[in-house]
Amino acid sequence: MKYIALIAHDGKKDDLVEFVLKYRQFFSKVPTLATQTTGSRLKEKGIDVETVASGPKGGDAQIASRITEGKVAGVIFFRDPMGKHPHEPDINMLLRLCDVYNIPLATNPATAELIARYIA
């Protein structure tokens, strides 16, 4: 079974944790992959998640690599559209690869809910 990748900028981590808890039944049935800080916040809430490096340390690129390997079914990336991020090139590469490989990508709770319902 393919992963659902979970990523959130610092200002959106609480929103992502809340979303995953709301859809806990769905996330308990699919393998999840998250960047380090996001994943550790989810683990604190009892969510089973595999982690890669934090976004600024290459985690976005690691998830992008899994996309190219065909191991990701969807990406939920709660982005902070108002913030500047030093790893913006990695973020753009990840978003581009979602388009290249036709991977569903949610950048807000409304679209994330659609992805969760579709995959479920």
Contact 85, 112 (CB under 8 A): no
Identified catalytic residue from 14, 60, 90, 99: 60
Q: Are 44 and 16 in contact (CB under 8 A)?
A: no
| Residue 60 falls in the annotated catalytic set | yes
Residue 58 φ/ψ region, left for φ over 0, alpha for ψ in the -120 to 50 degree band, beta for the rest: left
DSSP letter for 6, please: E
**Which of the residues are catalytic?**
60
